[in-house]
């Protein structure tokens, strides 16, 4: 396939360009269905005339249906999207990028989604879908899944396929964060459990409690039981954030934010802040996953994208060779750029 694609790109490059455009349009319809032409045009930043032409073509090929409520992707359209994934990967050169990142980050696997999460929201949805499919492939009976909150993990849950496994337990990896209840760990744990027919346990504990309050709550039987299940997790799903953004989102005091940034914090994951070398420089006072348990978890899946997250992804070292990172093309290429700069 590589040779054929290479020849096509040299002789008829416009075919590849057209393929990528139609793939992007079809994928956008899939993730936003039912969607109207105007909304699709705005989402893709394409002229309405261009969108109308391509939509008509997709309709004639039986890949989409057009209703008064908007456009939807047919079963044939879904098949085309799935079948084109490998080709789009090859065209974008992402297989090579994945292999390079695997060596740089010293992880088990890297999955790179074409596009930029900051420019196209469907890229985040695609990251969630691919992460969910990977997690399904490693699940077995009697599995304990721990997950954090956040928009990236939320998309994993939203796009999780049906699972036919028994005695699955889903738990939040940590207590709540901020005011956005929809993307808190406990909310997502319950939602994922419902989707896959699993059991779940919740951890209703806010962030930034005093040490004394944390100690008291840890002795509560219900909380102690959840924490023990978290420490025994077989699969951990988490997002990676930038230290400057997450410290504000978690409601830290200005003095605390200045302190952790002065220590060189660039990344945050499940309440821990890391510097460029992957060393922990700060821990949010909360109840949940203990970092000492992370290297023992059998499968770890991190989901993070966007050029601005590149440094944070590099910094989040968890000393676990089983880690899998799902990211986007923008973050992946920026990581490679940073690596080249650091070698000079």
Tell me the domain boundaries of the chain: 2-90, 93-343
Q: b/e for 264-303, b at 16 or more Cβ within 10 A?
A: ebbbbbbbbbbbeeeeebbebebbbbeeeebeebebbbbb
The total of other beta-carbon atoms located within 10 Å of residue 31's CB is 21
What is the C-alpha separation between 130 and 113, in angstroms, rounded?
8
The residue with tokens 């089983």 is 322
The residue with tokens 């999207």 is 81
Helix, strand, coil % over all residues of the chain, rounded to 5: 55, 15, 30
**H-run or E-run covering 8:** helix 2-11
Give the per-residue pLDDT at 210: 66
Give the per-residue pLDDT at 224: 85
CATH level 3 topology of 2-90: Arc Repressor Mutant, subunit A (1.10.10)
Give the per-residue pLDDT at 205: 74
What is the C-alpha separation between 25 and 40, in angstroms, rounded?
8
The residue with tokens 């899998």 is 324
Query: What is the CB-side half-sphere exposure of residue 214 using CA atoms within 13 A?
Result: 14
What is the C-alpha separation between 140 and 279, in angstroms, rounded?
33
Q: Which residues pair with 113 in a beta bridge?
A: 328
- Reduced to 3 states (helix: H, G, I; strand: E, B; else coil), residue 87 is helix
Q: Whose CA is closest to 294, among 312, 309, 274?
A: 274
DSSP structural state of residue 181: G
Helices (H) and strands (E) in the chain, counts: 15, 13
Phi, psi of 171 (to 5 degrees): -135, 150
- Reduced to 3 states (helix: H, G, I; strand: E, B; else coil), residue 208 is coil
Q: What does each of the 344 residues of the chain score in pLDDT, given as a tens digit?
A: 556 666 666 666 678 888 889 999 999 999 999 999 999 998 888 899 999 999 999 999 999 999 999 999 999 999 999 888 888 888 888 989 999 999 999 999 999 999 899 988 889 999 999 999 999 999 999 999 999 999 999 999 999 998 889 999 999 998 765 556 788 899 999 999 999 999 999 887 766 666 677 777 777 878 888 889 999 999 999 999 999 998 888 778 888 889 889 999 999 998 899 999 889 998 887 788 888 888 889 999 999 999 999 999 999 877 678 899 999 999 999 999 998 876 65
What is the C-alpha separation between 128 and 251, in angstroms, rounded?
27
> Strands 199-200 and 235-239, how do they pair?
unpaired
Which are the contacts of 305, defined by CB distance < 8 A and separation ≥ 6?
113, 116, 117, 123, 124, 127, 152, 327, 328, 330, 331
Give the per-residue pLDDT at 268: 92
Which are the contacts of 92, defined by CB distance < 8 A and separation ≥ 6?
114, 329
Question: Is residue 114 within 8 Å of 88, Cβ to Cβ?
Answer: yes
Question: Is residue 173 within 8 Å of 270, Cβ to Cβ?
Answer: yes
The total of other beta-carbon atoms located within 10 Å of residue 190's CB is 18
CATH level 3 topology of 93-343: Rossmann fold (3.40.50)
Give the per-residue pLDDT at 216: 75
Give the per-residue pLDDT at 174: 84
Q: Per the omega criterion (within 30 degrees of 0), is the bond before 34 cis?
A: yes
Would you say the CATH fold of 93-343 matches that of 2-90? no
Give the per-residue pLDDT at 4: 62
Residue 278 tokens, joined: 């992957």
The residue with tokens 């997790």 is 233
């Amino acid at each position: 396939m590589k040779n054929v694609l290479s020849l096509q790109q040299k002789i008829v490059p416009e075919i590849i360009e057209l393929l990528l455009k139609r793939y992007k349009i079809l994928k956008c319809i899939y993730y936003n269905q039912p969607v109207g032409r105007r909304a699709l045009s705005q989402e893709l930043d394409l002229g309405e005339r261009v969108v109308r032409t391509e939509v008509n073509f997709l309709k004639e090929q039986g890949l989409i249906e057009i209703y008064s409520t908007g456009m939807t992707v047919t079963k044939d359209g879904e098949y085309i999207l799935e079948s084109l994934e490998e080709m789009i990967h090859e065209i974008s050169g992402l297989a090579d990028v994945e292999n390079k990142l695997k060596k740089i980050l010293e992880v088990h696997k890297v999955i790179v989604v074409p596009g930029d999460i900051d420019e196209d929201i469907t890229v985040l949805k695609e990251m969630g879908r691919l992460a969910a499919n990977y997690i399904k492939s490693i699940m077995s009976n009697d599995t304990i899944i721990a997950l954090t909150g956040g928009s990236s993990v939320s998309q994993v849950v939203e796009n999780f396929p049906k699972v036919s496994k028994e005695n699955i337990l889903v738990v939040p990896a940590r207590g709540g964060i901020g005011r956005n209840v929809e993307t808190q760990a406990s909310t997502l744990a319950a939602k994922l459990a419902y989707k896959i027919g699993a059991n779940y346990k919740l951890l209703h504990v806010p962030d930034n409690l005093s040490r004394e309050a944390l100690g008291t709550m840890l002795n509560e039987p219900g909380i102690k039981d959840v924490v023990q299940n978290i420490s025994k997790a077989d699969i951990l799903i988490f997002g990676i954030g930038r230290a400057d953004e997450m410290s504000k989102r978690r409601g830290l005091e200005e003095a605390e934010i200045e302190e952790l940034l002065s220590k060189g914090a660039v990344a945050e994951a499940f309440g821990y802040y890391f510097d460029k070398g992957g060393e922990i420089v700060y821990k949010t006072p909360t109840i949940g996953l203990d970092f000492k348990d992370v290297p023992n978890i059998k499968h770890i899946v991190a989901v993070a994208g966007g050029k601005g997250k590149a440094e944070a992804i590099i910094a989040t070292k968890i000393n676990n060779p089983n880690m899998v990172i799902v990211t986007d093309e923008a973050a992946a290429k920026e990581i490679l750029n940073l690596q080249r700069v650091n070698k000079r």
